Amino acid sequence: MKKGTMKWVTLGVVALVAGIGYLFGAGNLASADQTVLVEEDFEQLDGVMPEGWSVIQGQTSVEDGALKVTSPSSASPARVLVPLPDKNGNIVFEADMTFVSAVEDTRWASMMFRVQSANYPYYQFAIRRGTTALNGAEFAERNAQNKWVVPEATFFTEKFEYNKPYRIKIIASNNRLQQFINNKLVINTDQASGLLNGDIGFQANGSTVLFDNVKVSSFEQGLPPVENAGAFLPQEPETNIINAPTLIGQSLSAAESSNTASVLLKVEQDSAGELVTNGVPLNEALANVQNKRIPILQIETESIEDAIIESLDAAQTTDVHIVSSHPEIVKAITNLMPTARGGIIYTKNSFNKHDINELIRTVHASNAKVALIPEKLLDAENVHYLHTRMVAVWGIGAEDEDHAHVLIHTGADGIITNNPAASIEALGKYPENTIVKRPIVAAHRGVPSLAPENTMAGYRLAYELGADQIETDLQLTKDGHLIIMHDLTVNRTTNGTGAVKDLTFDEIRQLDAGIKYSEEFAGEQVPTFKEFLQEFKGKDVILLVELKGVGIEEQVIREIEEEGMVDQVVLQSFDLGSMIDSFELKPEIPVGYLYSAAVPTTTEAKIKNAQKMMDYGTSNQVTLNASYGSTYEEFITYMRQRGMLTMHWTFRAEEPFRDKLAQGLVGPITDYMQWLTDSPIRLETPIKKINLKPGKTSTVQAKAFVNYRTAKKENIASELFVADDNGVVKLTGNTIEAVSPGTAQVFVKHTFTMLGTEWNIVGEPIEVIVK
């Protein structure tokens, strides 16, 4: 065989590249020996295509030791076909890919496989030059009708640079397919059943791309079933609590004893330099929990970041949390693995307002979204304070059922415990439609159902009605002033006309922003951003600020800092790049990505989409502030289990508002703040324990917070509720009658109507001892 031609190897057996052998985790190790079908580095070809390779379409050449595929536009693609000696489609196909140029970031190149009839149909791993887009990487099919079908699409965590090689790999086994970039698994699917054999090839579309170091090997071991592909919802205990806390076992044994959704694995390095958790090798522990529980790795040792990433890659574990009391460790590992979620463990004994604000800034600046806090420091007020600033809370404790109830009533998003059975018992005792966690209600542009939108009158009313956040929109005037306006023009909401960018600040200030709403609001001016900040500085409300323009991030953050409002502002935008820039400028300020998308039709697709969006948000340090129509129960559950709080727009009708809250949606953005103003948020039980003798009675009264903002207490109608009717007590209204010796847990319950349906709030249970 002459040097430089395609190398046919039918008898020799060689090892695959490092990493293939451990792709499938413990118990699913593939053999390291595979038959090499093609191997080509183009070094000795002197401008000649390898023997047997053919150009199907467009312009290709061999230059400087690489295959160059050139496509000037999407209308003129270029393709190269490589016939295989064995048409069996079970292969590992890999090559270096380098973008030389692209017409735009949406243009792509691909590695084709299972090519039929020397043309089409075929499958391909397509990679856009803008790989960070949600469809930056695709498993696509050119079908028998010569049309595109895209069963799977996702993103890569970095945008491909020009003139930089990336290692691309495809593993195809019957209907199963895995696609990798730089040994990172990006697509894992079972939708490759239509074509089971064929040749390979390369393609460019609107781009010029180099391919090098091509290798194709047979693959005979098979891939694990797609249900083990990583997108899953762990089982959780039954409860009537809406948006109940997820359970996290504080060790592998605790998690297994009661089947928690997540498990905390404290990772250390042993004397041999191996990573272990509670004496078990980390790789073994990861394999043990794979697709059953979400692993949360607690790491307190520096300089093992690379080893952590190697273990996660080896186990193909991408659904993972990294937590530590050292923020620099969390940041280092999440920088290496952008889809890994971060959490900060709080270790101080005090938890005053200064401590909480410092923690919030640390969480966001460390690529994290979760704070892990001991139970003794938590109450409903500080948990809600953290929530409004987009920090999820996992409480550590709940060593018995009484303490589990305490943590549940704080509204914590997760419970980390060594005794999950106690929390499971507690969660099962609440009445139907119980609300414990207070929603983060954002008043959209003020209260446009009662006052002109984006005016100070509307904002003040939103505050009076008890908004947790006040949402607004920012634009830049012609002469560089930040003003509040939703539309690109002033036409709809004021008595003027023209685009904001074409009007000066003085011109806009002369407009009336209230007269079109009603005479009552005549004379309302278009507010400046500074006026908005100054109005609410130091008040118990968060400002949810949407950036309508790109390029204003630095000025927005400067004005926030000048007013000392870093701890009171959350930013969001429909432009992801704007939020990425904002985070880089001031990572202490939380940022959110606004978007809208179709809801998948199958449960599997819904969970997989939730996984993709979670990874997308995590890798870009943004919360996922989707339209409420883009959300669904699996999405809401997926986010809750993994500690991401999200805001959702815009509720203008009661029915979807009610339905989404019932599914566990945390952050509604609404034009109708008044719908929730008079709904109680917490009920206090005046006593914790009652001792009675058989035949004796005790009457219990309760007080509830009725208004979100004024913290007013008043006596309200309540009744008693007992989950386990064990014959110890008999309840009549608010009276407990002791029946026989034993112990019963009795809740004070208040039922109220909100959004056209009935909900319950309850106090912490009263322990009734009859003896």
* Catalytic positions, written as ranges: 444, 486
Question: Residues 6 or more apart from 443 whose CB is under 8 A from it?
Answer: 459, 462, 465, 467, 469, 470, 471, 670, 673
Structure tokens at 703: 């007080």
Peptide bond preceding 121 in cis form (omega within 30 of 0): yes
The count of C-alpha atoms lying within 13 angstroms of the C-alpha of 302, restricted to the half-sphere facing its C-beta, is 7
Q: How far is Cα 382 from Cα 353, in angstroms, rounded to an integer?
A: 9
Contacts made by residues 510-518, CB under 8 angstroms, sequence distance 24+: 513/452, 513/454, 513/455, 514/452, 514/455, 514/457, 516/452, 516/492, 517/451, 517/452, 518/452
Q: How far is Cα 174 from Cα 172, in angstroms, rounded to an integer?
A: 6
Q: Measured over all CA atoms, what is the biggest interatomic distance in the chain, rounded to whole angstroms?
A: 102
The answer to whether 436 and 244 are in contact (CB under 8 A) is yes
The answer to whether 549 and 476 are in contact (CB under 8 A) is yes
Q: How far is Cα 389 from Cα 526, in angstroms, rounded to an integer?
A: 27
Closest residue by Cα to residue 262 from 345, 195, 174, 322: 322
Structure letter (DSSP) for residue 278: T
Angle at 599 (CA atoms; ends 594, 602), nearest 5 degrees: 150
User: What is the chain's length?
Assistant: 771
Q: Which residue has the tokens 């790999």?
A: 169
Structure tokens at 41: 């580095």
The answer to whether 455 and 462 are in contact (CB under 8 A) is no
Q: How far is Cα 312 from Cα 766, in angstroms, rounded to an integer?
A: 45
Structure tokens at 455: 């005016």
Structure tokens at 497: 């006309």
Q: How far is Cα 461 from Cα 709, in angstroms, rounded to an integer?
A: 12
Q: Which residue has the tokens 């380098």?
A: 98
Structure tokens at 513: 């922003």
